[in-house]
Structures are given as C-alpha cells and as structure tokens.
C-alpha cells in the first residue's frame, strides 16, 4: 500500500491551519498542523515530512529557523514559506536558504496546492 505524502503546516493563524489542512487532506495528503512553532520544531526533530509549509513571522521559533533546521536535518524535505511581511530582501534570504517556494499572504489556495504538487515531483 502506497503511503500518502506527509505535509507539515506551521502557522500561528488558526484560519490558515484549518483551511490548509482541509484542502490538502482533500487532495490526498497526510497533513499535520501546528500553531505552536516550538512544538513543530520538536516534531521535526523526530520525524521527516515531505513538505513543510511555514509562516515566517511567529513567536519563539520563526519560519527562518524552521527552514534552517529542516535543511540540515532533512535536506530532502521541500520548504514553502508564507509571510504577510514580504520584502525583496526577505524573499532573497528565503531562496538563499534553499526554500522551494515563497508566498505573500493571503495566498491563493490554488497556488499553494500547485506548489505542493511541484515540490513532491522534485523529491
């Protein structure tokens, strides 16, 4: 039996977590969601996901820290970064750190779905 691709979503906004989980599960993915980035980091220390979707600005552990950690521990995991605070400098830094994709909030869910599918094709 084929296993479903595993997606980790980390965002401190409940609506982003709920909607992303609902849509991606409908697409056939196994989706884990954390609104607490510290708990998400603990999960990443223990298990690998195929794709990490993370908000950039969060208290405690921010998205850039999750990106760095994931790149070191699980280099095969594709990271998609979301932010409401987009600048060209931030985009450049995110891509320098090997993020797979980057979106400004509010992100169109169809764009996010397409990005996840492309990320999985690159695995």
Residue corresponding to tokens 């849509």: 23
Range of the domain at 105: 6-121
Judge whether 17 lies within some domain. yes
Judge whether 92 lies within some domain. yes
The CATH number of the domain holding residue 22 is: 3.40.50.2300
Mode of pairing for the β-strands spanning 78-83 and 101-104: parallel
Q: Model's pTM, two decimal places? A: 0.97
| pLDDT tens digits along 42-73 | 999 999 999 999 999 999 999 999 999 999 99
CA distance 94 to 64: 7
For the chain, helix, strand, coil in percent to 5 are 45, 20, 35
Instruction: Report how many domains make up the chain.
Output: 1
| pLDDT tens digits along 4-20 | 999 999 999 999 999 99
Average pLDDT rounded to a whole number, residues 8-35 = 97
Judge whether 72 lies within some domain. yes
Judge whether 1 lies within some domain. no
């Amino acid at each position: 039996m084929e296993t479903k691709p595993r997606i980790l979503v980390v965002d401190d906004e409940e609506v982003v977590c709920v909607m992303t989980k609902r849509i991606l599960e409908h697409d056939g993915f196994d989706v884990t969601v954390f609104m607490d980035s510290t708990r998400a980091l603990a999960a990443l220390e223990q298990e690998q996901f195929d794709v990490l979707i993370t908000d950039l600005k969060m208290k405690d552990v921010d998205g850039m820290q999750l990106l760095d950690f994931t790149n070191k521990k699980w280099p095969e995991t594709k990271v998609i970064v979301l932010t409401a605070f987009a600048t060209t400098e931030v985009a450049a830094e995110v891509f320098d750190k090997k993020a797979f994709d980057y979106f400004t909030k509010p992100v169109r869910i169809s764009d996010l779905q397409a990005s996840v599918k492309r990320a999985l094709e690159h695995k």
